[in-house]
Amino acid sequence: MIRTNSHYGKLQASYLFSEIAKRVRAFEAGNTDRRLIRMGIGDVTEPLPPSTRAAFHAAVDEMGTRGGFRGYGPEQGYPFLREAIAAHEYGARGCNIAADEVFVSDGSKCDSANIQEIFAADTTIAIPDPVYPVYLDTNVMAGRTGAYANGRYDGVVYLDCTPENGYVPALPDQPVDLIYLCFPNNPTGAVADRASLEKWVAFARESGALILYDAAYAAFIRDDSLPRSIYEIEGARECAIEFRSFSKNAGFTGVRCAFTVVPKELQGTGPDGKPVSLHALWNRRHTTKFNGVAYPVQRAAAAIYTPEGSAEVKALTDFYMKNARRLRESLTQWGRACVGGDNAPYIWIQVEGRSWDFFDRLLNEAGVVCTPGAGFGKCGEGHVRLSAFNSPENVEEALERMAPVFAG
Ligand code: PLP
């Protein structure tokens, strides 16, 4: 029989959201008369913005004509989208990113999962705790960690995000090669200010580490003093790769489009000790293993950079941020210590006891689904996450139902 990748055996059996789904199913089976309000998974709820729909339709129609039909496109993305991204996401904010440094893909999940493939197997990784689980699990699958014990994998340098550090981790106290950072953060909703990012960039440049910066929630930043991109920090072109997504700003979780920026300055070391361009490696990986995002999807994505499209995206993110503010205000009134909700669509709340017990309480007593912090790492224990991706009506009803649990 075929031998399997033994590293998969180290993965923790239950993926967070499958366990939540199991508990929710059990609750629903015993409570057929109660309507659940789901504030767990970070999926968007609102329809696609009109400009993206119109561009999507028009591109499908174009593909139905002999002159407009397109087969395989450039794996890295069509120039019209790469150029629009470089100009609007970066040029407009004073960052120097060229269109050919932008790699369009079908999701930041895949990109942040696949990127580790271009680095050596014995790379030391630094990963925040709590964390978006993809960064960690994909390194486990690749054999970059030891066994799992007491909530942690051997060989990983964990960056603790705690109430004491405002959920923005301190620099590692040992050498690392690869550093995963995500701001605005999932799951905590915490943001890093310019001074914190400057420290990370300085550390990476001095030590020769590479930062993988996930800015999937950049469009939710409302405080203009906060950087939306790592490239707003001087020197980041020499030490950082950035992931961005159309999932949360344009509601594309079901459409699928994202991009990764790999500046040409970035260098690694080859087996002979000579420098190797990371841009060239990622280009090789991307073109070998990926065949490009559908043309109509790229047209739909590019529509968010038109004046109408950008106003629609602003309105869409404002819609969710209004929910986030309501949640945060109420939790604060109830005396709960929490972060997020001001520049991110997530609120991270300290709770008494174990987070899975609190999850069960909120489910049983309020009929509201949250995400237990322990599912995101050891430091997530004692916290739950609420997502603002919902309708205002649901948020109001959830607040009413949750008040006795949170305020009690
Ligand atoms: N990065 C973070 C931090 C996320 O929270 C998510 C989705 O929830 C993703 C990436 C995935 O984005 P995409 O839908 O582009 O795969």
Give the largest Cα separation in the chain, rounded: 67
**Average pLDDT of every residue of the chain:** 96
Query: Residue 366 has what pLDDT?
Result: 97
Say what angle helices 50-63 and 307-333 make with each other, to 10 degrees.
140
349, part of any domain:
yes
- CATH assignment at residue 272: 3.40.640.10
- Enumerate residue ranges in the chain where pLDDT < 70: 13-15
Look at residue 148 in the predicted model and tell me its pLDDT: 93
At 254 the pLDDT is 98
User: Ligand 1 centre from 396 Cα, in Å?
Assistant: 26
Residue 225 lies in a domain: yes
* Residue 16: predicted pLDDT: 79
Residue 230 CB-density burial (10 A; 0-12 exposed, 13-18 middle, 19+ buried) = buried
Q: How confident is the model over 166-210, as pLDDT tens digits?
A: 999 999 999 999 999 999 999 999 999 999 999 999 999 999 999
For residue 390, count other CB atoms closer than 10 A to its CB. 23
Task: Report the number of distinct structural domains present in the chain.
Answer: 2
pLDDT at 41: 80
Residue nearest to atom 1 of ligand 1 (CA): 216
**212 shares a domain with 349:** no
The pLDDT value given to residue 17: 80
Mutational pocket test of ligand 1: of 110, 186, 260, the residue with most ligand atoms within 8 Å of the beta carbon: 186
Q: What is the reported pLDDT for 14?
A: 66
pLDDT at 116 (0 to 100): 98
Dump pLDDT digits (tens) for 221-262.
999 999 999 999 999 999 999 999 999 999 999 999 999 999
Residue 126 identity:
A
Residue 390, amino acid: N
In CATH, what number is assigned to the domain containing residue 363?
Answer: 3.90.1150.10
Return d(Cα 81, Cα 207) in angstroms, integer: 34
Let me know the angle formed at the C-alpha of 88 by 84 and 92, rounded to the nearest 5 degrees.
140
Whether residue 276 sits in one domain with residue 383? no
Separation CA 4–CA 157 (nearest Å): 27
| Residue where one domain finishes, among candidates 253, 287, 307 | 307
Output b/e per residue, 73-105; b: 16+ Cβ within 10 A: bebbbbeebbbbbbebbbeeeebebebbbbbbb
Give the closest residue (by CA) to ligand 1 atom 3: 186
Domain containing 291: what range? 53-307
Q: Would the pTM of this model clear 0.95, i.e. be above it?
A: yes
Say whether the peptide bond before residue 187 is cis (omega within 30 degrees of 0).
Answer: yes
Cβ atoms within 10 Å of 23's Cβ, excluding its own:
16
